[in-house]
């Protein structure tokens, strides 16, 4: 790697050392943890994990709602020399079974209700299950402490599973350096400080969600995790906890902007951050009117490289559709179809270089080689780069604008959804002979999932049974909003289902 960093990169668990001893670090339902208490609980959980899973580099998974376990596990696993695999709490048994098998997890800690949904066939032979409450109680009873880790920057710290355009979720490998530099980068450009309080409403199984913890703790601030039921819960939490920082995805911002915020509550927020989809011009205007004193950060990222760009809030009113410029520790290039740096206004592929680039896909060299390729010759950092597949343009001021996406991913309510995963689930029911999942533009979701299906021969109750079966097998965010039934699927010149034609027909 040609580029260098000035300061040594500390291991991930050292983020817990940033705050003042008696300052608030984490607000839980059971009470508030100071940084001194946060460090103690991370140390004890790490000691317990090391006893339960002594093999360095082994994978340990967590599958629970936001709380002490899910907030402490990333740092505790890192301190124990293990690799954390956070599982989205919305997933159901089929997706969890895949993640456990693919990652080779030795341990899954989860809530009892979630663990009970797993059958014997879902649990790999090497994986033990432990209930969340029991794990925390055992860690506290053990009473052991574990010194901060001495892990190297390139040591693996986490595997985050993300949907691809085809097939099942793939695990993105993140090093200590990836995650620590991501925390530094975000804390830097957001201007986070020790008196900031972050409301963590995003799932902690996502890189955007995890960074709510890491960047706030890097700045010595306080995190308030929230699993909200309705958007009004977010507004109430801002008031109750004096929240200064709120991160969300566009569908939640739409709902937040529709609430009647008291002026004194809205004024508590210093910054709003958005990723997981673009803000519309209308939504930017609504948020700016509702929170005039807050800085609004529009951002773009992908799990394979964490965060790529952000727009200076001073430009949000005049350039509301821009992705902005590269975040600290990132180099973002626009490469045209000839493999050269694109000219201003010329469309090209966004290529992300530098130390935020992840280590590839876990045990998947083929897909790693497709997405992770040598950086363009013009790169300052060199080494491996993430070729995003996203098409962008750069204007004369260096601001980037999204032009389109090459792959078939569906982006709904901030979730990246694999069409094939939905199609495979539909076919596995035996009720349909063919299935095509598509994303259709939706004002609130970004895209809504639509499924086009042809019933299997001899099946008379497919229309009634398929929604019920899919509800059992797929998480809520993957459920088709509409199922369109066809006696035959349109076929293109190559003999394959004409997805483009179906997309045009359904979107009309």
pLDDT in tens, 417-471: 888 889 989 989 999 988 999 999 998 899 999 999 999 989 999 999 999 999 9
Burial 333-364 (b: 16+ CB within 10 A, else e): bbbeeeeebbeeeeebbbbbbbbbbbbbbbeb
The reported pLDDT for the residue numbered 1 is 30
Q: Are 67 and 45 in contact (CB under 8 A)?
A: no
User: For the chain, what are the domain ranges?
Assistant: 1-177, 228-407, 410-507
* Cα 160 to Cα 158: distance, rounded to the nearest angstrom: 6
The reported pLDDT for the residue numbered 494 is 54
For domain 410-507, the CATH architecture is: 2-Layer Sandwich (3.30)
Q: CA distances (Å), 152 to each of 58, 175, 298, in order?
A: 16, 9, 32
User: Which segments of 227-371 does DSSP mark as H helices, in order?
Assistant: 231-241, 250-257, 263-266, 281-290, 365-371
Would the pLDDT of 408 be above 90? no
Average pLDDT over residues 97-104: 97
Q: Which range among 75-89, 271-285, 331-345 shows the weakest confidence by mean pLDDT?
A: 271-285
Q: Are 384 and 374 in contact (CB under 8 A)?
A: yes
The reported pLDDT for the residue numbered 139 is 97
Return the structure tokens found at 146.
Answer: 């574990």
Under the banding of pLDDT at 50, 70 and 90, the label for residue 309 is very high
Q: Which range among 159-173, 185-199, 301-315, 427-441 shows the weakest confidence by mean pLDDT?
A: 159-173
pLDDT in tens, 478-496: 999 999 999 988 876 556 6
State the residue for tokens 């703790």: 217
- Assess whether the region 1-177 and the region 228-407 belong to the same CATH fold: yes
pLDDT in tens, 10-19: 999 999 999 9
- Which H, E and C letters describe 192-256, residue by residue? CCCCCEEEECCCCCCHHHHHHHHHHHHCCCEEEECCCCCHHHHHHHHHHHCCCEEEECHHHHHHH
* Cα 247 to Cα 243: distance, rounded to the nearest angstrom: 11
CATH number of this structure's domain 1-177: 3.40.50.12780
The reported pLDDT for the residue numbered 4 is 45
Under the banding of pLDDT at 50, 70 and 90, the label for residue 3 is very low
pTM of the model: 0.87
The reported pLDDT for the residue numbered 6 is 59
**257 or 165, which is more confident:** 257
- 228-407 placed in CATH 3.40.50.2300: no
What's the chain's average pLDDT?
93
Q: Which range among 97-111, 164-178, 284-298 shows the weakest confidence by mean pLDDT?
A: 164-178
Burial 150-180 (b: 16+ CB within 10 A, else e): ebebebbbbbbbbbbbeebbbbbbbbbbbbb
């Amino acid at each position: 790697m040609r580029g260098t960093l000035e300061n040594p990169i500390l291991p991930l668990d050292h983020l817990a050392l940033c705050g003042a001893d008696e300052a608030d670090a984490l607000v839980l339902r059971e009470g508030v943890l100071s940084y001194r208490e946060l460090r103690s609980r991370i140390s004890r959980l790490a000691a317990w994990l090391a006893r339960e899973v002594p093999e360095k580099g082994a994978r340990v998974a967590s599958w629970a709602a936001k709380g002490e376990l899910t907030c402490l596990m990333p740092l505790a696993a890192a301190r124990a020399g293990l690799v954390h695999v956070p599982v989205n709490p919305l997933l159901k048994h089929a997706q969890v079974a895949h993640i456990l098998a693919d990652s080779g997890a030795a341990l899954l800690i989860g809530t009892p209700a979630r663990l009970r949904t797993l059958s014997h066939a879902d649990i790999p032979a090497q994986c033990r299950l432990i209930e969340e409450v029991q794990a925390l109680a055992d860690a506290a009873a053990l009473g052991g402490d574990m010194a901060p880790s001495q892990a190297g920057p390139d040591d693996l710290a986490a595997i985050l599973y993300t949907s691809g355009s085809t097939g099942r979720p793939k695990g993105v490998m993140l090093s200590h350096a990836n995650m620590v530099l991501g925390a530094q980068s975000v804390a830097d450009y957001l201007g986070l400080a020790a008196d900031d309080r972050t409301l963590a409403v995003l799932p902690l199984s996502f890189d955007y969600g995890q960074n709510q913890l890491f960047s706030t703790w890097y700045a010595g601030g306080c995190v308030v995790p929230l699993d909200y039921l309705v958007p009004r819960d977010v507004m109430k939490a801002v008031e109750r906890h004096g929240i200064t920082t709120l991160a969300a995805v566009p569908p939640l911002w739409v709902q937040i902007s529709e609430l009647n915020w008291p002026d004194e509550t809205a004024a508590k927020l210093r910054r709003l951050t958005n990723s997981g989809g673009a803000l519309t011009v209308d939504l930017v205007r609504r948020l700016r009117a509702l929170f005039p004193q807050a800085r609004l950060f529009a951002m773009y990222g992908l799990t394979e490289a964490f965060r790529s760009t952000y727009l200076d809030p001073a430009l949000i009113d005049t350039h509301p559709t821009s992705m902005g410029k590269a975040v600290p520790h990132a180099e973002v290039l626009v490469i045209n179809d000839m493999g050269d740096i694109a000219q201003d206004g010329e469309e090209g592929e966004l290529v992300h270089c530098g130390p935020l680039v992840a280590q590839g896909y876990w045990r998947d060299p083929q897909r790693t080689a497709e997405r992770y390729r040598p950086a363009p010759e013009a790169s300052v950092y060199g080494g491996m780069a993430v070729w995003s597949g996203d098409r962008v343009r750069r204007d004369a001021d260096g601001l980037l604008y999204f032009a389109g996406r090459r792959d078939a991913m569906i982006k709904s309510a901030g979730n990246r959804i694999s069409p094939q995963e939905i199609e495979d689930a539909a076919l596995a029911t035996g009720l349909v002979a063919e299935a095509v999942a598509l994303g259709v533009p939706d004002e609130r979701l970004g895209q809504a999932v639509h499924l086009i299906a042809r019933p299997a021969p001899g099946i008379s109750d497919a229309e009634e049974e398929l929604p019920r079966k899919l509800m059992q097998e797929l998480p809520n965010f993957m459920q088709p909003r509409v199922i369109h039934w066809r006696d035959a699927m349109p076929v293109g010149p190559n003999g394959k289902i004409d997805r483009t034609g179906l997309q045009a027909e359904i979107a009309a």
